[in-house]
Amino acid sequence: MTDGQAGPLDGITVLEMGSLIAGSFCCRLLGDMGARVIKVEPPDVGDPLRQWGRVMTESGSLWWLVQSRNKESLVADLRTPEGQEIIRRLIPKVDIVVENFRPGKLEEWGLGPDDLRRCREDVILVRISGFGQTGPWRERPGFGSIAEALGGLRFLTGEANGPPMRVGVSIGDAVAALYAALGACAALRRREKAEVGDVVDVALTDAVFSLLESVLPEYGSEGVVRTRSGNRLNGAAPSNTYLTKDQQWIAIGANGDSIFKRLAALMDMPSLLSDPRFGDNQARCAHVDVLDEVIGRWVGTQDLDELWERLNTAGVPAAPIHDISQIVDNPQFQARGMVQEIDVPKVGAVLMPGMVLRFESGDASIRWAGPELGEHTRDILLTDAGFSEDDLAKIELLTRPPS
């Protein structure tokens, strides 16, 4: 462990109950901002995320080490009365509980909102699920991939004449986690003002649906059903990716009228500005095939590095399509501290993404990587849950990690 900087949530304790991505990512964000996060894991195997990913280490997957950084690991079987009692004894010391079980599961275990409030009246419960705590589909199973499908994102992703496609990461889980972390902070603010707790209900499907920009009002107003458009930006042109002379891809966004004028000047094509097909954004969108073909031919005569420099100088937003090796070497990401090297016991140096949120009073920090299964069980039960040594002897078999 490293001391790091305290962060704005220093002094807040979060109890993470759940597994895999959305709830875990939410608590990672809270932990990054200084909160103490106690992650509850089942005995024997722990969170399945320990085994997810292409690269495995003695301490689990690299994804696990990133997603569970700044957390403490407590082993407790929530399906048993003993595990449920551990949670009840912890709640008085906890500010926020985050869970991502199917709706009704906490209530089944005697750990629903009313049960938790009996342990601490102003506790905040953040609930993340596929379809939310209400509605006719509330009890259906749902992962991020299901939310991306039902919420409309996959229908919009892919080439115009191709099948619906997945974004390259678990975006549905990630956006739900962001909403959940925001909701947790908002509930903390309410508690500060009114001295009351709250229940924050986040549905993965709602979170994905909220990303659809103007898709809903366009349908409501004109009956327009937006479809896939590949790398083009719907409703604004030109904005696309183009192949350079040296066979590299570059994204160019010249969809503002003034930016388009600068691009036309750089291309030495004043005729684009006098052509009524490209006179404003609506006209450019109507003739985007022709416009993209013209820009694509011009880009195809340029090498990437020189072209990118010229576009930047001209004030035209553009960037090459980076893979991870290029991101690691990128001076902008390096200057922002977005590529962090963390020393992990038994593993060595592990690269992790840095902090997105920056605070003038001091940045949040990565204090340690994801813990060993049950690493903090004993200390948490003795210090936070109020168990005695004799108590621990009775429940040792239920809480200790595998040898």
Residues in the chain: 403
1, pLDDT greater than 50 = no
400, pLDDT greater than 60 = no
DSSP string, 230-251: TTS-TTSSSEEEEE-TTS-EEE
Neighbours of 356 (CB within 10 A): 11
DSSP string, 335-355: HTT-EEEEEETTTEEEEEE--
Q: What CATH superfamily is the domain 239-243+249-320?
A: formyl-coa transferase, domain 3 (3.30.1540.10)
pLDDT tens sequence across 139-150: 999 999 999 999
CA 15 – CA 271 distance, rounded (Å): 63
Left, alpha or beta for 87 (phi > 0: left; psi -120 to 50: alpha)?
alpha
Residue found by looking up tokens 């909102």 in the block: 113
Q: How confident is the model at residue 204 (pLDDT cuts 50, 70, 90)?
A: very high
CA 129 – CA 173 distance, rounded (Å): 10
* Residue 401 confidence (pLDDT): 52
CA 259 – CA 53 distance, rounded (Å): 42
Strands 239-243 and 124-129: unpaired
Rounded to two decimals, the pTM is 0.93
With contact defined as beta carbons under 8 Å apart, do 48 and 19 qualify?
A: yes
Q: How far is CA 45 from CA 59, 183, 196, in A?
A: 12, 30, 37
pLDDT tens sequence across 351-366: 999 999 988 887 778 9
Domain ranges of the chain: 13-210+333-399, 239-243+249-320
* Residue 360 confidence (pLDDT): 84
φ, ψ of residue 398 in degrees (nearest 5): -85, -25
Residue 38 corresponds to which tokens in the numbers above? 């106690």
CA nearest neighbour of 100 among 8, 236, 246, 200: 200
* Active-site position among 47, 77, 173, 201: 173
Residue 184 corresponds to which tokens in the numbers above? 């947790």
Q: Is 329 a catalytic residue?
A: no
**Segment 239-242 long-range contacts (CB within 8 Å, at least 24 positions apart):** 240/292, 240/295, 240/296, 241/321, 242/292, 242/295, 242/296, 242/299, 242/300
Q: 304-314 and 257-266 are packed helices; what angle lies between their axes, rounded to 10 degrees? A: 130
Residue 42 corresponds to which tokens in the numbers above? 């089942």
Residue 331 DSSP SS3: helix
* Greatest distance between any 2 Cα atoms in the chain: 86
CA 293 – CA 55 distance, rounded (Å): 41
Q: How confident is the model at residue 239 (pLDDT cuts 50, 70, 90)?
A: very high
**Which DSSP category does 99 fall into?**
E
pLDDT tens sequence across 41-86: 999 889 999 999 888 988 889 999 999 999 999 999 999 999 999 9
188, pLDDT greater than 50 = yes
What percent of the chain has pLDDT above 70?
Answer: 97
For residue 217, give every residue at least 6 positions away whose Cβ sits within 8 Å of its Cβ, in sequence order, or none: none
Average pLDDT over residues 314-332: 97
Virtual torsion, Cα 35, 328, 325, 308, nearest 10 deg: 120
At the second CATH level, the architecture of 13-210+333-399 is: 3-Layer(aba) Sandwich (3.40)
Residue found by looking up tokens 């009002």 in the block: 217
